[in-house]
Amino acid sequence: MTEAPGTGRSERIADLFDLVADSYDNVGVSFFGPIAERLVAAADPPHGGRVLDIGCGRGAVLFRLAAAVGSDGEVTGIDLSPNMVAATAHDARAYGLVNVHVEMMDAMNPRLPQGRFDAITASFMVFFLPDPAVALTRWRSLLVPRGTVAVSTFSAWDPRWAALEDLFEPYRGRGERDFFPIDPRDPNGPFGSDAAVEALMESAGLVGVRSSSFELVQRFDDTSQWFAWTRSHGQRMLWEAIPADEFDRVRDAAFERLDGWRDDEGRITARHRIRLTLAQRP
């Protein structure tokens, strides 16, 4: 997802996503799928086109791109995690998708032919990059003229999530900078507003930049499912930072607060706004 394999930082990120590869997007909670559907629809890759999914994870966007371009198209997914790449490549073979290729590669500098792709997608990964503007500039060179870059980021978390921040705050800083060199929660940072993300795209020489957003409602059957979900993706790093002798106390305190999030059916709910930002190579 980020720096070239072999550096300490990239190895720690790869280790984290290796750890969650089996459970990633696989605990019965709808999150990455709905975002992927919206992102692919917005990117609107041409039938028969060539597309690239950067930070492909377990294929939420990748396999929807394959459906969009059809059997005459070609889909490439890259990720830094060896376990993610192996599992997603296995799934592609199991689905009979001979036009889908998955490789372990550095998102900061993909080793791919310039001017090859009609569209590039990156869902919930640009905030892991140490220099997003440099990465986007390099991605631009991989596109055909007027080719599209489409990224998804958070527009706004459910404000109730802020009620959990103090539980994790004592443990922040224990390697968190390894994962988020630029704080994605900073309202004044490059991911803090539509205008900021659009400016990031424009700084990479992309044109026709525009953003849209939609509400994503998450529903968890119980606190255990919420806990499994938070440990099935990048948020796992928050739990990993908690010392073993304090872990149960923090988890139980989170569960107690989550009880106040229940809807009329008794399910725990959260509402987030998701941002989609698109641009083109001139």
Domain ranges in the chain? Answer: 8-157+180-218+274-280
Checking if the pLDDT of 157 tops 70, the result is: yes
Which token pair is 155? 């527009």
Which token pair is 22? 């089996």
Q: Can you tell me the distance from the alpha carbon of 276 to that of 87, in angstroms, rounded to the nearest whole number?
A: 27
Checking if the pLDDT of 45 tops 60, the result is: yes
Q: What's the pLDDT score for residue 39?
A: 98
Full-model pTM:
0.94
Q: Are 52 and 122 in contact (CB under 8 A)?
A: no
Q: What is the pLDDT of residues 49-87, one digit of tens each?
A: 999 999 999 999 999 999 999 999 999 999 999 999 999
Residue whose entry in the numeric block shows the structure tokens 């539980």: 167
CATH top-level class for 8-157+180-218+274-280? alpha beta
The amino acid present at 82, given as its one-letter code, is P
Which token pair is 130? 């140490």
Residue 4: pLDDT band with limits 50, 70, 90? very low
Q: What's the pLDDT score for residue 181?
A: 77
Q: What is the pLDDT of residues 158-214, one digit of tens each?
A: 988 888 989 999 988 755 666 777 888 888 899 999 999 999 999 999 999 999 999
